[in-house]
Amino acid sequence: MVFSGPLSAKAFCRHMCNAVGKETASKRIQNRFVAAISCPVAYVIQSPGKEPDLISCNATFPDVLRDIKLSLSAGMKDAR
C-alpha cells in the first residue's frame, strides 16, 4: 500500500476503522507492506499502530515507487 498524502492516509485509516473497528483494522494493516511518500504521511499511518515499512526520501510519486522497487529488490520485505 502506498500513501501519497496525509489526507488520503487519514481517510483510509478512518474508513478502515469505521468498516471493521480499530482493533481489526490495526491487525489487517500489520500484514501489509506500507510505504509513505513523506514523514507527515508516515505519522498519519502510525496512528492505527503501523510503522511504515518505507518512508521515501523525496516527496514525489515516482521517487516513492523507485524506493519501493529498490527495497523489494534488496529483500527488505516481501511483496504482499
Q: How confident is the model at residue 18 (pLDDT cuts 50, 70, 90)?
A: very high
DSSP 11-76: HHHHHHHHHH-HHHHHHHHHTS--EESSHHHHHHHHTTT---SEE-SSSSHHHHHHHHHHHHHTTS
pLDDT at 48: 67
Quote the pTM value. 0.77
| 23-63 pLDDT, tens digit each | 888 888 888 889 999 888 888 888 767 889 999 878 888 99
For the segment 9-35, the average pLDDT, to the nearest whole number, is 88
Which carries the bigger pLDDT value, residue 9 or residue 19?
Answer: 19
pLDDT at 78 over 50: no
